[in-house]
Chains A and B, each alone.
Chain A
Amino acid sequence: MIHVRINGKLLEAKKGETVLQLAQRNGYHIPNLCYHPSLKADGACRMCLVEVKGANAKPNSLTTACTLTVKEGMEVLLDTPEVSKHRNTILEMLMALVPDSPVLTKMAEEYGLKEIRLAQGDEVCIKCGLCVRICDEVVGAKALAMEGRGTETTFNPPFNEPPERCVACTSCAFICPVQCIPVKKTNDSITIWGREFDRLKCTRCGRALDLTEEHMALMMTRSSHLKPEDLNVCDVCSRKEVLGTMKSLVDGQITLERVGK
């Protein structure tokens, strides 16, 4: 066990975990905008600043909790004046970039950021990179790309055209911290990143599934156990089928046991 102090309180940390993980596990809140537990931290937004002492750290050094691996004897302070000053400047920069985000506005209220002194832009994306990374590293569709450099950096489908490799799983829209990726769902279609996909229909009842042909194909690359005939049946019809089997079992007066395994 590794011993780490957060705000003075001694905590037991697991080897290899980050300060952000340790803090979250123990109920401390560290603001973050580019971290997701299913991804390795990237350290892009810089909102999760903390102050570190001990364990060979330089005096009062600020660093990002998401990229900081715990070390024996480490002392972390979450809300020092330094931390909050720089965190607020970063938040101010983001709010100048994306002026109308409820998520950021709420953060500003929470951390006491009162005034945006910088020239305001009109973007919606805070350039955290999560959408590209999730699609790349987790979903595996690799439909999006970080393009451009510096202030011109964008996170979009390549060339900002309807993404060829997208499967409409909508994960990117889900994890976007400022919810700026619009998804339109109708009974027949899902539209995301400017591309409209047909929804598959349940082969039994015809109900629209939360699934596209493309997503199904991608899922099947993950495991040979996933078959189209199972995937394109809705949950209700799936249960109905189980019900039928169970009923015949019950009618035959057999007790069905299933081990909680």
Chain B
Amino acid sequence: MERISSPNALLDVIKKHQDARDPDKVRISVCQGTGCIASGANSVMASFESTLLEKNSSVELLGTGCHGFCERGPLVVIQPEGTLYQRVKPENVNEILDKTIGNGEVITKLLYRDEAKNTYEKEQDVPFYKHQERIVFAMNGHIDPSRIEDYLAMGGYGALAKVLLNIEPEQVIHMVTKSGLRGRGGGGFPAGVKWKSCRDAEGSPKYIICNADEGDPGAFMDRSIMEGNPHSVIEGMIIGAYAIGATKGYVYIRNEYPLALLRLENALEQARELGLLGDNILGTDCSFDITINRGGGAFVCGESTALMMSIEGKVGRPRVKWQHTAKKGLWGNPTNINNVETWANIPPIMDRGVDWFTSIGTGDVSNNPWGGSKGTKIFSLVGKVNNTGLVEVPMGISIRSIVFDMGGGIKNSQKGRTFKAVQTGGPSGGCIPEQYLDNPIDFDELTRLGSMMGSGGMIVMDDRTCMVEVARYFVDFLKEESCGKCTPCREGLRAMSEILGRIVKGQGRHEDLVVLEDLASTMSVASFCNLGLTAANPVLSTLKYFRQEYLDHIDKGECAGRQCQDLIKYTISEENCTGCTLCARKCPTKAISGEKKSLHVIDQELCVRCGVCDDVCNFNAVTILSGPER
């Protein structure tokens, strides 16, 4: 494509592409996100390509970014009807082309079926999608992320044209502040306030950074944005650069994201070609370009000062901020850093306006950008829930709605599993118990509940989850990931890990709980960076809401979640066992014996407590004993 000479010309190009896109055209979109590729979307795509070629069909085939419902991948959506096929295999391709495309017939076996065995035809009716509000993800699934034309056809870069034509930099910042957009990377700091102090800071050049380090285990919303719609991040950054007066941008991207990197590099190249990046963007006197930096691999590199150290080529460890990063950041120059999702929110805000954005979410931000949480947040919903994946929801939604409406409730509820808690905010978030399921969640409410928004991780836990073990797991994760610089984080986590390690083995003491609380309180006020300052959340929140579980481990050697290997015993109940032999056949150590149609018995010497027997038993005959009954 040709270089575009002015913002007006850009509007024309957008119009041209919009007009050329026929919304009623039959279009097959195959998700090409990392999740779906992992379940075989590449061969599904290839099969569509070759079959369409064979049939000489003019049907449009689209390899899109992540649709969010990765668990059910590979996902295929047929437009314009929006028919969603899940777990599609290459051998289904012919059938889809013949029946659905050829005949308008829906293939029932490929539809999503919920626990109650209801099937859903259209993507937008599937409960997982139905309750979402997609702003950042609006185009994922509708565009091919490797084609800038697709983005333009959806109105992409329209916000940039509008800003360059009519809105002064100060006004852009004012709008971002008024929109109440808060950082999606964890801190929830109002983006506009940060932008303003960077714009007002002395020194040049000014830098902006996109934090794409995404280190929270299980979180992949940033990856999905970059893979599915890289131009939205770039457009957000260009608008930011214009508003702040920055001339250079960096995307600091996790090394483990090769696909996102590829898509982003490709998108940058396209944007440069069109004159959207580089010197004199669209013929204006705004010049800005973006460089990609590959992450150092450590979790703590996502922390803003460590990230900047890493970009500067030093070891990524948090450093002392003698002045705000906005004033003295990268190489001592004014720097503004925002998360991927934060940047991707900018174009829709500029495009659709502050009033629209503030109509979504909680609180009142008209006078105070901290007054509420506006817009949407993408959560990565995982754990013991039926539907896992990425959900974009309006701020203020309840956890219940996410877990039970979108998530489809607790997995294996037919086997009696029930909800126990959700853990939000990544490794240093906290666990929220059932009584808060209906609280409207946003930045401040999650903090109030002893957890945090973090990057939007949400792990659902059922009654077979031991909360002490949960705390131990996260403490151990953080212990490995702490950079080791400051005493409270490094040594506090070491000590916590030792204590929790004993408690889950049944070797805890009552004093341990006091010590845990002392350590936690010191870590939470005296650590150097946010990793350490929040690292005690898993311990504090479980101690607060599930103290009895700690006490049971200590006093009775009982693990309520029946998870702690040293405190449990698998047995088979006489009442329920039908002698079907399934468990005996599946037990990896052959610890189960019994004649057909008679009671089976577990040899405790051989049992390794893997839980396979419980998983496979169809009659609920396997019981896990703990505490005195053991």
Contact = CB atoms under 8 A, between A and B. Distances in A.
A–B interface present (Cβ within 8 A): yes
Interface of A: 40-47, 49, 62, 67, 69, 85-86, 89-90, 93-94, 96-97, 117-119, 126-127, 129, 146, 148-153
10 contacts: A45-B487, A69-B322, A86-B526, A89-B521, A93-B488, A119-B495, A127-B484, A146-B315, A149-B298, A151-B482
Q: Which 7 A-B pairs have the closest CB atoms?
A: A153-B484, A93-B491, A89-B522, A150-B482, A118-B495, A151-B494, A86-B522
B515 interface: yes
B525 A150 contact: no
A46 B527 contact: yes
Nearest to B319: A42
Given A46-B486, A150-B480, A150-B483, A90 B522 contact: yes
Contact of B485 (A41, A67, A119, A129): A129
B498 A119 contact: yes
B487 A149 contact: no
Contacts, number: 98
B479 to A, nearest CB: 5
Interface string B452-483: 00000000000000000000000000111111
A148 B519 contact: no
B511 interface: yes
A256 B525 CA distance: 64
Contacts of B257: none
A49 B320 contact: no
B196 interface: no
Contact of A44 (B482, B486, B494): B486
A257 B458 CA distance: 81
A4 B322 CA distance: 18
Contacts of B322: 67, 69
Contact of A94 (B315, B480, B487, B528): B487
B536 to A, nearest CB: 12
Nearest to A91: B487
Contacts of A62: 525-526
Nearest to B502: A119
A86 B521 CA distance: 8
A126 B487 CA distance: 9
Interface in B297-325: 298, 300, 315, 317, 320, 322
A103 to B, nearest CB: 15
B217 to A, nearest CB: 15
Given A42-B320, A62-B525, A118-B498, A90 B315 contact: no
A89 B519 contact: yes
Contacts of A49: 526
A41 B481 contact: no
Interface in B512-534: 515, 518-519, 521-522, 525-528
A44 B528 contact: yes
B302 to A, nearest CB: 14
A43 B481 contact: no
Given A49-B526, A149-B298, A150-B481, 14 more contacts: A40-B320, A42-B320, A42-B485, A89-B522, A94-B491, A97-B494, A117-B515, A119-B498, A126-B487, A146-B484, A150-B480, A150-B493, A151-B494, A153-B485
Nearest to A89: B522
B495 A96 contact: yes
B492 interface: yes
A93 B315 contact: no
Contact of B493 (A42, A67, A90, A151): A151
Contacts of B478: 150
A181 B493 CA distance: 26
B459 to A, nearest CB: 22
A148 B414 CA distance: 47
Contacts of A85: 522
A41 B526 contact: no
B238 to A, nearest CB: 34
Contacts of B498: 118-119
B326 to A, nearest CB: 16
A146 B498 CA distance: 24
Contacts of B553: none
Given A86-B522, A86-B525, A150 B487 contact: no
B488 A46 contact: yes
A41 B484 contact: no
B490 interface: yes
Contacts of B488: 46, 89-90, 93
A42 B498 CA distance: 28
A45 to B, nearest CB: 5
Contacts of A153: 483-485, 490
Nearest to A41: B320
Given A41-B320, A45-B486, A149-B483, A93 B492 contact: yes
A88 to B, nearest CB: 9
Given A40-B320, A67-B320, A118-B515, A151 B484 contact: yes
Contacts of B490: 127, 150-151, 153
Contacts of A94: 487, 491
B167 to A, nearest CB: 32
Given A89-B519, A94-B487, A150-B493, A46 B480 contact: no
Nearest to A67: B320
Contacts of B494: 97, 151
Given A93-B495, A119-B498, A127-B484, A151 B525 contact: no
A169 to B, nearest CB: 23
B54 to A, nearest CB: 53
B78 to A, nearest CB: 48
A148 to B, nearest CB: 7
A220 B599 CA distance: 86
Max chain B Cβ within 10 angstroms of own Cβ: one of A43, A45, A129: A43
Nearest to A155: B484
A43 B526 CA distance: 10
Contacts of B519: 89, 93
A42 B527 CA distance: 13
Nearest to A150: B482
A97 B491 contact: yes
A56 to B, nearest CB: 12
Interface string B87-123: 0000000000000000000000000000000000000
A65 B521 CA distance: 19
A127 B300 CA distance: 18
Contacts of A148: 484
A54 B519 CA distance: 28
Given A94-B491, A117-B515, A150 B486 contact: no
A153 B483 CA distance: 8
A40 B319 CA distance: 11
A150 B522 contact: no
Nearest to B479: A150
B482 A46 contact: no
A40 B320 CA distance: 9
Contacts of A127: 484, 487, 490
B515 A44 contact: no
B528 A43 contact: yes
B528 A152 contact: no
A42 B528 CA distance: 10
Contacts of A152: 484
Contacts of B315: 146
Max chain A Cβ within 10 angstroms of own Cβ: one of B491, B492, B522, B526: B491
A44 B480 CA distance: 18
B186 to A, nearest CB: 19
Contacts of B522: 85-86, 89-90
A150 B515 contact: no
A49 B487 CA distance: 12
Max chain A Cβ within 10 angstroms of own Cβ: one of B483, B493, B526: B526
A96 B484 contact: no
A89 B494 CA distance: 14
A93 B528 contact: no
A101 to B, nearest CB: 14
A149 B484 contact: yes
